[in-house]
Chain A
């Protein structure tokens, strides 16, 4: 395409470089997103999206503005100004059962060392806390306890009214990068290479009774923990910068599985270890983790790996799922996996199961239908060394969404309204199912017709 545009002979160096990324043609039958809305409003990188309720979401980023959108119409509902620096964390605070009045709150933390609580229904700032010693890097809401935690250089526990219930001592300067809720009133906090488990001592009588205790220090990771995900009530997983994936028991905080080098584990012999080490660190760091009951999905460098908890191994992967680092992945309810990357694209994958006869060799040329010579060498490397297993899995690309001109930071999935993506190009795109939208519009049209009592034509 580009070659055709530029014309023969004048092709500059570098453009000709063939990408090893699996691509899908322009014909994407399974891709439902045939309509998009561009939501403009931010002036800098949009990094965070959070769902407020069924049809609203908030976005925030480096410009310090928080915007509230309608996911159906793409209408900007509120512009929330209050932070002076970039937003570092965003969380929704759903109304708890204990609370009578239904209110949708969102929490924002910013580099200006403040946390603001916003009311999504009025668009007003409810309260602001700016007594932090460092930037709050993560916010977690423990809905069960109706409290929220802020993680920076220390961990603070707050209630809905923004009373500080308790806090830890100063941990490190680097501070807590991520937090995840564990059973039994515990939270796991990633602080550099360490994973610290805190336990909250609650009391219903008042704020005096609250306390937070450091329960355990886990120092199994070689490098900084980048991602932390709760898989189920019993397990959670962490991923580090050097590509370690550890699955933990959520109750006794023991390692259930340790997966290192899994980016090329099954096929590549250990002889390639050196080569691997020479690889760019970015290419093997576990950027993001997500999970369903069976699997943990890891965004490792440019690739996506599916780790099965039961089988305790990687069952399917795409080594280079994107041209650049994968920033966020999410498992959708409909068996689809969506990933977004620094290359500005969003890709939709499907984990497919295939019954295979043990003797039958893996169809090496499966991915070659995409037209890439090298693809067959690495693609579809699923569980080859265990011929006795008859089920193989593959991660197939079923569509890609191209719209952003810069890194796609995050996305949010609405089962009703489609996919929202935010990017470093300051835009938010709302991807919608064209068929569905068309139907909805027809519906609105006939409703309006009914209201208006028919078309008022001057015939």
Chain B
């Protein structure tokens, strides 16, 4: 509503559906040459120019370990959308900037695999030749069968408009993070159950092997071992090791959510509806799962019906086996949730950047009009606030707030003036490319770690080379992370600046790009850089972020974050703690997945003295966590977060800056929670997006109808005056469609009485009562030609002093006279505005002005209260009238409009927070007149 209609170019596709008014053609000599791409249905504002696709879409790709980068699916799932655009090629492009998948199953110094809970990375890159620009969100999912247990994926929002991507980066990043979080949650769940199955298999295998060994031992009395026996024993040891490894993995994956949930504001990850369905689906299969366990663990409930299989000793990774699909990786439910989210993202970001930005600015400005915006603004915008509060025990941590904060940093008005300036403030520092870097080197560095297998590397290498040999060049224009981090570190040197791995990595990226290619990495931004560094998520307990990067390039760190230091200390400590235990037993105990506390850990000792690699469960850095975990599961009903805080000694000791740390955690958990919330939205589509989308259409329709109304009815002013002055307008008619249309048209003029529903009743057919006029300010009333109908009309006649009546059938209006000057401007029947949405905007702009007048009037102290003791009430009244007339320039009935709005403002402002507003019906004893066409 803030945005004037002329400022925004309406390029939303929906707008084209409206009827087009034919304008007289211009003479040839005045006409401007046509926009060259006009025949594609394009408009000058979109950057369709060189691109092969017509509208934005989302692409999900995977860097498959078998075939390399491949596109998996697009949203919308419609071939028309991306047209001839080469998805394969683009997938290669976007996956090639992923430096995230640098995972190694067995980090040196650790004898067992470790899961990395890697943060997603966010990159903006562009291919100017293709005319495609993309926000790329890299994430890794766990797969037991995959190399290093991880599979790199990415979601990319692809648009033809570079500016759009850059400007909406934060929003995109937020939304995609939510989607990614959803995907990863599902993945963790699936991974955990996969691990459990595997463990069962292993256990079974071990039992089998053990029996075999025993038999061999018995048959062999000579005291020496046959090669067979040793082989068996080794195999057994291997299985043992494998079991421990897998137990460990399971523990790691299970502990993940708890790490997130360590906050006092514990909120289960899953939304209610999701939980329900998940539970029901799980309940069918899980009977053994402990009901006392918190909901999260339900996700990882065991599946008892699983029958273990014997695992072959040499289960070498074979490359012809079929990798799991994304759906299998992520649990169907979460997968569909994510798809829904992505669809929503696509819908939200559809259209021209200018439009989106204006909307965004409008929304931001609206938030500042706390006092007045309930009057005419859409309800959904106002409802965002309570949601915010819900999560906002610590308001700073809220994403919205951070977002708002960042907006404050980049003042909005600037954007209005020049989008460039906005951009420049966000934009990254361009990094000069190293033109001399060799292709091969680049390829090696692209996936330097993940590819152990020579053949695969070669395969990839060849693939990369192939694309590179096309004679194009990749240019990294800049990495936002590094830029952001740099600016941060420069400006706030005193503040601890987090992570470096990302910086390091992005540097690596910039190094490995080749000059000739046309792909430009516009910016890369690991998730943290979005959030101001102070709010950065850190997982002090367990996340071992990229130990490789740490180890290799630790010198580059400029990160004095105490958490990280702690973490590193923990690491080193932990490494020291790793004794090479030569005594290893082939265990008899059945593995207990949760149990192994260091002291209770079963001693594995091999009676036979067969030396094997000492399997030792990987100890998480903070062991207190395990305690918490168990405590938590036993004390159900106790707010988990608090308990953990109290019980976790490590946490307390490690947090040197407790408040800061809690903040960190907070921010993380909020993002976590908010993603939960958004996953939950699908069943009950509410606040922001869906409603916004719906109301967009509604607005357009309402605007169109209103336009028609003011053109058609010469007495429209009087009707609108009735609405604006709080007099209930009744649209009386026989046909529902006609009445409803009029109601829709007029509803845009109805001020809300509170932040609840619009006081509009589109269709009603029984006699009206006094309460109805209090509740509704616009009523569509059915005219019935029956005795019952007479009653309805009688009630109208009876209450005629409170209402205005618009007879849709005879096209007459009975209402008080309006002689002011405001409404003619609002509803000029000769208006040049032709589009419904434009007119809607016009009305909103106008109403905002009106609101500001009402605001001024309401909150001017001396207009309502005497300045001095002696002053009489009459003096105040005359001052009030003077103000209205002279300062606000109101004439005649306009005064009443402002006064009515002012009353609403007062009521809203002084309302009791508990009891709410007592709705009052205000009216005037003024004569009504009958108007006819």
Known: A2-B793, A34-B922, A38-B921. A405 touches B927 (CB 8 A): no
Q: Is the CB of A441 within 8 A of B790?
A: no
List, in ascending order, chain B residues with CB within 8 A of A254's CB. none
Q: Is B580 an interface residue (CB 8 A)?
A: no
Q: Is the CB of A35 within 8 A of B810?
A: no
Q: Is the CB of B864 within 8 A of A446?
A: yes
Q: Is the CB of A75 within 8 A of B918?
A: yes
CA distance A74 to B771 in the complex (A): 14
Q: Is the CB of A35 within 8 A of B921?
A: yes
Question: Could you mark each residue 21-47 of chain A with 1 if its beta carbon is under 8 Å from any beta carbon of chain B, else 0?
Answer: 000011111010011111010000000
Q: Is B861 an interface residue (CB 8 A)?
A: yes
Interface residues of B in 886-933 (CB under 8 A from A): 899, 903, 906-907, 909-910, 915, 918-928, 930
List, in ascending order, chain B residues with CB within 8 A of A27's CB. 925-927
Known: A36-B770, A439-B864. A5 touches B925 (CB 8 A): no
List the one stretch of A79-87, A124-132, A364-372, A451-459 in contact with chain B: A451-459
Some 30 contacts from A to B, beta carbons below 8 A apart, are A2-B793, A5-B732, A5-B793, A5-B805, A6-B790, A6-B793, A10-B785, A12-B790, A26-B800, A27-B925, A28-B925, A35-B921, A36-B921, A38-B770, A75-B915, A344-B798, A402-B798, A402-B799, A403-B770, A434-B923, A438-B906, A442-B858, A442-B906, A443-B864, A444-B906, A445-B909, A446-B861, A449-B859, A457-B371, A458-B368
Cβ contact of B368, chosen from A26, A37, A457, cutoff 8 A? A457
Chain A nearest CB: distance from B176 CB in Å? Answer: 28
Q: Is the CB of B859 within 8 A of A455?
A: yes
Q: Is B571 an interface residue (CB 8 A)?
A: no
List, in ascending order, chain A residues with CB within 8 A of B819's CB. none
List, in ascending order, chain B residues with CB within 8 A of A12's CB. 787, 790
CA distance A6 to B924 in the complex (A): 25
Q: Is the CB of B770 within 8 A of A404?
A: yes
Given contacts A36-B920, A434-B922, A448-B910, 11 further A-B contacts (CB under 8 A): A1-B800, A26-B801, A26-B927, A34-B923, A37-B920, A403-B770, A429-B770, A446-B865, A456-B370, A457-B371, A458-B367
CA distance A459 to B796 in the complex (A): 46
Q: Is A64 an interface residue (CB 8 A)?
A: no
CB closest chain-A residue, reference B910? A444
Chain B nearest CB: distance from A130 CB in Å? Answer: 35
Question: Could you mark each residue 357-370 of chain B with 1 if its beta carbon is under 8 Å from any beta carbon of chain A, else 0?
Answer: 00000000001101
Chain A nearest CB: distance from B319 CB in Å? Answer: 58
Chain B nearest CB: distance from A381 CB in Å? Answer: 28
Q: Is the CB of B906 within 8 A of A445?
A: yes
List, in ascending order, chain A residues with CB within 8 A of B805's CB. 5
Interface on A for B, CB 8 Å cutoff?
1-2, 4-7, 10, 12, 15, 25-29, 31, 34-38, 40, 73-75, 344, 399, 402-405, 425, 427, 429, 432, 434, 437-439, 441-446, 448-449, 455-459
7 A-B pairs with least C-beta separation: A442-B864, A28-B925, A2-B797, A441-B906, A403-B770, A444-B910, A5-B793
Known: A35-B922, A457-B368, A457-B370. A15 touches B790 (CB 8 A): yes
Chain B nearest CB: distance from A330 CB in Å? Answer: 21
Interface on B for A, CB 8 Å cutoff?
367-368, 370-371, 732, 769-771, 774, 785, 787, 790, 793-801, 805, 807, 810, 812, 814, 858-859, 861, 864-865, 899, 903, 906-907, 909-910, 915, 918-928, 930
Q: Is the CB of A31 within 8 A of B925?
A: yes
Chain B nearest CB: distance from A296 CB in Å? Answer: 31
Chain B nearest CB: distance from A55 CB in Å? Answer: 14
Chain B nearest CB: distance from A173 CB in Å? Answer: 40
Chain A nearest CB: distance from B836 CB in Å? Answer: 31
CA distance A346 to B398 in the complex (A): 56
List, in ascending order, chain B residues with CB within 8 A of A5's CB. 732, 793, 796-797, 805, 807
List, in ascending order, chain B residues with CB within 8 A of A31's CB. 925
CA distance A289 to B714 in the complex (A): 53
Chain A nearest CB: distance from B764 CB in Å? Answer: 15
CB closest chain-B residue, reference A31? B925
CA distance A403 to B795 in the complex (A): 10
List, in ascending order, chain B residues with CB within 8 A of A29's CB. 925
CB closest chain-B residue, reference A24? B925
Chain A nearest CB: distance from B774 CB in Å? Answer: 6
Q: Is the CB of A1 within 8 A of B797?
A: yes
Q: Is the CB of B858 within 8 A of A445?
A: yes
List, in ascending order, chain A residues with CB within 8 A of B924's CB. 34
**Most chain B CB within a 10 A radius of its CB, from A37, A40, A344:** A37
CA distance A160 to B314 in the complex (A): 99
**Most chain A CB within a 10 A radius of its CB, from B370, B807, B909:** B909
**Most chain B CB within a 10 A radius of its CB, from A10, A40, A75, A438:** A438
CB closest chain-A residue, reference B793? A5
List, in ascending order, chain A residues with CB within 8 A of B771's CB. 38, 40, 427
CA distance A404 to B795 in the complex (A): 11
List, in ascending order, chain A residues with CB within 8 A of B785's CB. 10
Cβ contact of B918, chosen from A37, A439, A443, cutoff 8 A? A37
List, in ascending order, chain A residues with CB within 8 A of B922's CB. 34-35, 434
**Most chain A CB within a 10 A radius of its CB, from B796, B814, B910:** B910
Known: A26-B925, A38-B921. A442 touches B770 (CB 8 A): no
List, in ascending order, chain B residues with CB within 8 A of A457's CB. 368, 370-371
CA distance A37 to B918 in the complex (A): 8
Chain A nearest CB: distance from B98 CB in Å? Answer: 39
Cβ contact of A448, chosen from B368, B858, B909, cutoff 8 A? B909
Chain B nearest CB: distance from A403 CB in Å? Answer: 5
Cβ contact of B769, chosen from A28, A35, A37, A405, cutoff 8 A? A405
CA distance A448 to B865 in the complex (A): 14
CA distance A40 to B930 in the complex (A): 34
CB closest chain-A residue, reference B809? A7
List, in ascending order, chain B residues with CB within 8 A of A455's CB. 371, 859
List, in ascending order, chain B residues with CB within 8 A of A442's CB. 858, 864-865, 906
List, in ascending order, chain A residues with CB within 8 A of B814's CB. 1, 4
CA distance A410 to B916 in the complex (A): 29
Chain A nearest CB: distance from B907 CB in Å? Answer: 7
Q: Is the CB of A441 within 8 A of B910?
A: yes
CB closest chain-A residue, reference B861? A446
CA distance A40 to B772 in the complex (A): 13
List, in ascending order, chain A residues with CB within 8 A of B790's CB. 6, 12, 15
**Most chain B CB within a 10 A radius of its CB, from A4, A25, A29, A35:** A4
Known: A34-B923, A437-B920, A438-B903. A427 touches B797 (CB 8 A): no
CB closest chain-B residue, reference A454? B859
CA distance A235 to B292 in the complex (A): 82
Q: Is the CB of A73 within 8 A of B918?
A: yes
List, in ascending order, chain A residues with CB within 8 A of B368's CB. 457-459
CA distance A225 to B907 in the complex (A): 48
CB closest chain-A residue, reference B371? A455
List, in ascending order, chain A residues with CB within 8 A of B799's CB. 402
Known: A2-B793, A26-B928. A402 touches B769 (CB 8 A): no
CA distance A437 to B921 in the complex (A): 12
CA distance A204 to B295 in the complex (A): 75
CA distance A40 to B924 in the complex (A): 23
Q: Is the CB of A441 within 8 A of B903?
A: yes
List, in ascending order, chain B residues with CB within 8 A of A25's CB. 927
Q: Is the CB of B923 within 8 A of A74?
A: no
CA distance A1 to B774 in the complex (A): 22
**Most chain A CB within a 10 A radius of its CB, from B370, B732, B793:** B793
CB closest chain-B residue, reference A39? B918
CB closest chain-B residue, reference A429? B770
Chain A nearest CB: distance from B884 CB in Å? Answer: 13
Chain B nearest CB: distance from A457 CB in Å? Answer: 6
List, in ascending order, chain A residues with CB within 8 A of B807's CB. 5
CB closest chain-A residue, reference B796? A5
Chain B nearest CB: distance from A427 CB in Å? Answer: 7
List, in ascending order, chain A residues with CB within 8 A of B928's CB. 26
Chain B nearest CB: distance from A12 CB in Å? Answer: 6
CA distance A37 to B785 in the complex (A): 33
CB closest chain-A residue, reference B800? A1
